[in-house]
Chain A
């Protein structure tokens, strides 16, 4: 039985979803222009990941033991529709929260980090509690990567970069350096 702290830190920094598993790169490069937007996207991500962990646990426990070949299809369909449903509920109950999460909520559903979370969680055999902690850690890790990246890009806007290097090429190299820094966490827990 792995401890919750280990699961949380492992998902957040050691095996950061964005920087060491390469999951969810589209929003990582697409929406990391400003720190405030990045933070909101990150929060929406944590939220969707928590729902995903719950859905994945539910599917694994009650449905997929009878029909394992439906795994991929059911994950993506159930997660997408649950997120849509929760989005409608939030819109009714708390318009403020809805505005804060904004357009990112529906977009995140088709993000590979979400499906990746469901699959990794299943592969590791996590139960509901561990799964939720794992989702929280992974979401926090994605948020951390997004905010750091946005900060670096805001700085890079002001610096003199060769015209050919601007855009995706430069962002990729910044991400590479960030990922290099995150590799320093690899030995945080012995045997990790």
Chain B
């Protein structure tokens, strides 16, 4: 019974990261890599995967060691753990996919200072069991990857008329170049956040109306 409960809870921890507490759309964390590497969908996926590896790895290790890490030096310990995983993924990508590594450039190393990752260690992994911490890390990175893919997909479609490098509209499409340049990233993310707050507002209105009608 308790095993069933813990599985259900692990699932809840996983699911909240994707939508209800989405790191980008709701918590507005991890903006720098979010904007910098999303000029194509492929880069977005690579960044999402690298972040997933680092977040899951460090959440696993931090929650495993949570009773041994002295409170006073916990932040530095988390940073060392995160930096170790980032170094690993940096070297792995350099060997396995040199082109992706070149495109993402310094942003692989900069995963270290992604506030999303340190935030999850401090807020979640250091206080929960390994299973919950990994579920939470998986959910958060899935939510992050989802957000990256949204932004990367839209920017690539508008800015180069293709998706994952496959041309969508044929040769007559005039690409909206600004979308793959830095300003397009800012503006597009602004519009996406606007869209999300509109969705939320609509759901709230509907609930309020339902409550009103129920009361009457």
Contacts and interface: CB of A to CB of B under 8 A. Distances in A.
B72 interface: no
A26 B115 contact: yes
Given A69-B87, A72-B87, A179 B109 contact: no
Contacts of A22: 31-33, 35-36, 182, 185
Contact of A176 (B79, B80, B183): B183
Given A176-B183, A183-B181, A72 B109 contact: yes
- Main SS of the interface on chain B? helix
B169 interface: no
Interface residues of B, number: 39
Interface residues of A, number: 41
A169 B183 contact: no
A169 B28 CA distance: 10
Contacts of A164: 194, 197-198, 201
A70 B91 CA distance: 12
Interface in A157-192: 164-165, 167-173, 175-177, 179-180, 183
Contacts of B86: 72
B57 interface: no
Contact of B83 (A73, A120, A123, A169): A73
Contacts of A141: none
A115 B187 contact: no
A25 B182 contact: no
A36 interface: no
A115 B106 CA distance: 9
A176 B190 contact: yes
A179 B113 CA distance: 23
Interface of A: 19-26, 29, 69-73, 76-77, 80, 110-112, 114-116, 119-120, 123, 164-165, 167-173, 175-177, 179-180, 183
Interface of B: 28, 31-33, 35-36, 76, 79-80, 83-84, 86-87, 90-91, 106, 109-110, 112-115, 118, 178, 181-187, 189-191, 193-194, 197-198, 201
10 contacts: A22-B36, A24-B32, A25-B31, A29-B31, A80-B76, A110-B113, A110-B118, A112-B110, A176-B184, A176-B187
